[in-house]
């Protein structure tokens, strides 16, 4: 007898010889970069480079040794993700679950999918494992069996409601993959809302709005207009009549952030009254231009502006990534030298501002702010937060979900990765305190009103490049700063990031938020010895979660020392990886 789940799965059969696994916790042998590098033909490259982030922070990699038409690689996975999304929703009594089809900053031919939990946060780790298992089941019968096993294990009522929200970025393969997810959702009997094209953070916003509608925690109206109205109004209120200096040029990576920013601008105070925004690299008609020579990843990795950039000295610019959940700022100084203002800089700027507002509002005794970073944060940024701002710094492993969880433990948690992923989250108690506090004088009232507007302006479900960029503008306007003043708060230690190819990256195991290696034995001691030879030295090595490589980071008092240290540590890693 035919079963709709078996039928849907058979409609999108899994390609033979493919294994799908997480990126950030990558399994032995699964190698994105190696597969790319060793796949000379166009077809093979496209196939091998396709990856599947099954949840935020966990990239799922498709590795194969045979060439297949690229379009087939993800179809089977997307149908199964539809089934998992329906199960996850049923396990939460019909709460809305989000499915976002995007491969973020990766090349246009790649694609992937993320699942979003009801409050807009990332999928629970236990369900990441279930998703991965499901993605690797061989055929319809196995999938159906596993579907029923999950239902039995978690006591899920398969006749209960399942609700799923979907959106996608502008990649050419998105439409087809959407069909594959829908086949899975339909087979599972889920109610589906398809929002078409959205940025990843917009999808997170919709999920949170839908699940909180009509409650005391209502987050907003679950429509695109609702998103623009909420963030647009909060921007205006937070500015308090202050006008940012100059203009802001936003490079949208030729991704979905472009048209969405153009729309958002219509809800911001008119040009001349507040911020003048120039939108560049917003060509979504040519999907093959996505992330090519532009976008946050290009700028951060190459430490230079996109070649198309035409701005002059002192002009503020920022770049989004392909799904607009990441942003970095930059400008040319008076000597025409490129200056990057990355996630570390955003975190320090925002933490200092929120700290001031909390103090001015008279709430410093009841609300503590903390900053969450990863080991990649520049030592000077960490020192600035601890010694100048006198705020606590937590360090977590790489990956947004780790930072988010650490920030959730704070009253106000400011978290950013150096690469520009990040946001600020306020604890429920802090939100209550700020909502209920009665100001004692006009100064307190003013600061309180700024704080309340910032809470609305910050997308607390996930890092949102558009909301983060507006927040930066608000802070700069209040401080009456241009990018040079922002840069002058501290001086970065010279640093160097290297990638080392090894035969098995899984032997590189770390502890202490990836700052120390526990394996291979003896390697950490050798690294420590090198670090001690340079002034203000710091270095660590960690296996990448998204590429088959070990990353080496080093910083020191001078450029020469930092580069030398990085080279020496990379050499040690290479030796340890080949023995």
Binding stretches for ligand 16G (CB under 6 A):
24, 56-57, 59, 398-400, 417, 419, 421, 544-547, 551
Integer Cα distance of 192 and 196 in angstroms: 12
| Closer by beta carbon to ligand 16G, 282 or else 417 | 417
> Using CB atoms within 10 A of its CB, is residue 432 exposed (0-12), middle (13-18) or buried (19+)?
exposed
321 labeled part of a ligand binding site? yes
Integer Cα distance of 243 and 427 in angstroms: 30
Residue with tokens 């200092």, as numbered in its chain: 352
- Which of Mg ion, ligand 16G, none does 466 bind, CB closer than 5 to 8 A by kind? none
Angle, alpha carbons 97-202-546 (nearest 5°): 75
546 labeled part of a ligand binding site? yes
* Residue 254 makes contact with Mg ion by CB under 5 A: no
Minimum distance from CB of 388 to Mg ion (Å)? 30
Minimum distance from CB of 326 to Mg ion (Å)? 5
Sort strands 422-426 and 412-416 into parallel, antiparallel or unpaired.
Answer: antiparallel
| Closer by beta carbon to Mg ion, 325 or else 530 | 325
- List CB contacts of 566: < 8 A, sequence separation 6 or more: 496, 497, 498, 539, 552, 553, 554
| Closer by beta carbon to ligand 16G, 331 or else 540 | 540
| Closer by beta carbon to ligand 16G, 32 or else 475 | 32
Integer Cα distance of 322 and 327 in angstroms: 10
Minimum distance from CB of 146 to ligand 16G (Å)? 26
Stretch in the footprint of Mg ion (CB under 5 A) among 7-15, 248-256, 271-279, 322-330 = 322-330
89 labeled part of a ligand binding site? no
| Closer by beta carbon to ligand 16G, 351 or else 418 | 418
Stretch in the footprint of Mg ion (CB under 5 A) among 58-66, 281-289, 319-327, 518-526 = 319-327
* Residue 104 makes contact with Mg ion by CB under 5 A: yes
Helix or strand or coil: residue 133? helix
- Which of ligand 16G, Mg ion, none does 400 bind, CB closer than 5 to 8 A by kind? ligand 16G
* Residue 325 makes contact with Mg ion by CB under 5 A: yes
* Residue 297 makes contact with Mg ion by CB under 5 A: no
Stretch in the footprint of Mg ion (CB under 5 A) among 6-14, 18-26, 102-110, 570-578 = 102-110
- Which of ligand 16G, Mg ion, none does 547 bind, CB closer than 5 to 8 A by kind? ligand 16G
Stretch in the footprint of Mg ion (CB under 5 A) among 138-146, 324-332, 381-389, 558-566 = 324-332
- Six-digit token string for 155: 């006591």
- Which of Mg ion, ligand 16G, none does 413 bind, CB closer than 5 to 8 A by kind? none
Of 161, 151, 157, 208, which is closest to residue 185 (Cα–Cα)? Answer: 161
Q: Give CA separation, 202 vs 100, 134, 206, 575, in Å.
A: 10, 27, 6, 45
**Strands (DSSP E) along 433-484, which ranges?**
none
Q: From the list 321, 411, 468, 548, which residue makes contact with Mg ion (rule: CB under 5 A)?
A: 321
DSSP code string of 204-241: HHHHHHHHHTTSTT----SSHHHHHHHHHHHHHHHHTT
Of 57, 71, 76, 73, which is closest to residue 8 (Cα–Cα)? Answer: 76
111 labeled part of a ligand binding site? no
**Does 104 participate in catalysis according to the annotation?**
yes
Angle, alpha carbons 538-541-545 (nearest 5°): 135
- Which of Mg ion, ligand 16G, none does 399 bind, CB closer than 5 to 8 A by kind? ligand 16G
Integer Cα distance of 411 and 454 in angstroms: 15
Q: Angle at which helices 428-436 and 442-457 pack, to 10 degrees?
A: 140
Give the count of residues interacting with Mg ion (CB under 5 A): 5
Question: Which residues make beta-bridge pairs with 165?
Answer: 98, 193
Minimum distance from CB of 102 to Mg ion (Å)? 7
247 labeled part of a ligand binding site? no
542 labeled part of a ligand binding site? yes
| Closer by beta carbon to ligand 16G, 311 or else 544 | 544
Question: Which residues make beta-bridge pairs with 48?
Answer: none
Minimum distance from CB of 104 to Mg ion (Å)? 3
- Which of Mg ion, ligand 16G, none does 544 bind, CB closer than 5 to 8 A by kind? ligand 16G
Q: Among 104, 319, 461, 539, which one carries the catalytic annotation?
A: 104
- Which of Mg ion, ligand 16G, none does 321 bind, CB closer than 5 to 8 A by kind? Mg ion
| Closer by beta carbon to ligand 16G, 83 or else 123 | 123
* Residue 319 makes contact with Mg ion by CB under 5 A: no
Integer Cα distance of 104 and 53 in angstroms: 10
CB of 59 closer than 8 Å to CB of 23: yes
Question: Which residues make beta-bridge pairs with 320?
Answer: 327
Minimum distance from CB of 68 to ligand 16G (Å)? 24
Residue with tokens 């120390």, as numbered in its chain: 516
Report the C-alpha dihedral over residues 258, 263, 266, 268, rounded to 10 degrees.
Answer: -70
- Six-digit token string for 142: 């196995």
Active-site positions read 104
Feature table: binding site for Mg(2+): 104, 321, 323, 325
Feature table: binding site for substrate: 417-419, 542-546, 551
Q: Footprint of Mg ion on this chain (CB under 5 A)? A: 104, 321, 323, 325-326
């Amino acid at each position: 007898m035919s079963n709709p789940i078996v039928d849907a799965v058979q409609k999108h059969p899994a390609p033979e010889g493919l294994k799908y696994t997480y990126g950030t916790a990558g399994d032995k042998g699964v190698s994105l970069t190696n597969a790319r590098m060793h796949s000379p033909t166009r077809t093979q490259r496209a196939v091998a480079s396709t990856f599947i982030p099954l949840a935020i922070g966990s990239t799922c990699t498709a590795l194969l040794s045979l060439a297949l038409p690229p379009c087939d690689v993800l179809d089977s996975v997307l149908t199964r993700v539809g089934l998992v999304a329906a199960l996850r929703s049923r396990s939460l009594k019909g709460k809305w679950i989000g499915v976002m089809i995007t491969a973020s900053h990766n090349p246009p031919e790649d694609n992937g999918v993320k699942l979003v939990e009801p409050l807009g946060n990332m999928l629970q780790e236990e369900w990441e494992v279930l998703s991965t298992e499901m993605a690797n089941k061989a055929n319809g019968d196995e999938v159906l069996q596993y579907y029923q096993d999950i239902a039995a294990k978690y006591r899920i009522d398969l006749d209960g409601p399942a609700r799923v929200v979907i959106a996608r970025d502008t990649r050419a393969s998105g439409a087809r993959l959407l069909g594959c997810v829908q086949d899975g959702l339909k087979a599972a009997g889920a109610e589906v809302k398809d929002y078409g094209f959205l940025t990843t953070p917009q999808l997170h916003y919709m999920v949170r709005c839908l699940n909180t509608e009509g409650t005391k925690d209502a987050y907003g109206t679950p429509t695109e207009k609702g998103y623009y109205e909420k963030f647009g109004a909060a921007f205006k209120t937070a500015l308090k009549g202050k006008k940012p200096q100059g203009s802001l040029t936003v490079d949208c990576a030729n991704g979905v952030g472009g048209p969405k920013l153009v729309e958002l601008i219509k809800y911001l105070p008119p040009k001349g009254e507040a911020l003048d925004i120039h939108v560049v690299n917003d060509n979504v008609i040519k999907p093959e231009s996505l992330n090519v020579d532009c976008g946050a990843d290009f700028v951060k990795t190459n430490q230079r502006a996109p070649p198309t950039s035409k701005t002059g000295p002192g002009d503020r610019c920022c770049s989004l990534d392909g799904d607009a959940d990441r942003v970095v700022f930059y400008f040319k100084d008076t000597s025409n030298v490129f200056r990057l203002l990355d996630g570390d800089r955003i975190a320090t700027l925002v933490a200092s501002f929120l700290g001031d507002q909390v103090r001015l509002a008279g709430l410093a005794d009841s609300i503590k702010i903390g900053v969450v970073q990863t080991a990649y944060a520049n030592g000077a940024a960490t020192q600035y937060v601890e010694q100048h701002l006198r705020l606590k710094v937590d360090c977590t492993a790489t990956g947004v979900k780790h930072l988010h969880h650490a920030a959730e433990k704070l009253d106000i948690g400011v978290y950013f990765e150096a690469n520009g992923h990040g946001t600020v989250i306020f604890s429920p108690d802090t939100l209550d305190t700020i909502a209920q506090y009665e100001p004692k004088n006009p100064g307190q009232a003013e600061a309180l009103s700024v704080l309340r507007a910032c809470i609305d302006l910050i997308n607390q479900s996930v890092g949102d490049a558009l909301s983060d960029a507006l927040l930066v503008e608000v802070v700069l306007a209040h401080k009456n700063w241009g990018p040079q003043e922002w840069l002058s708060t501290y001086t970065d230690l010279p640093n160097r990031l290297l990638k080392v190819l090894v035969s098995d990256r899984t032997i590189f195991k770390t502890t202490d938020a990836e700052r120390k290696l526990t394996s291979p034995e003896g390697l950490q001691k050798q690294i420590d010895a090198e670090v001690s030879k340079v002034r203000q030295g710091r270095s660590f090595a960690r296996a990448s979660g998204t590429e088959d490589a070990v990353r080496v980071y080093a910083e020191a008092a001078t450029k020469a020392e930092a580069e030398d240290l990085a080279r020496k540590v990379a050499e040690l890693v290479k030796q340890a990886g080949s023995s």
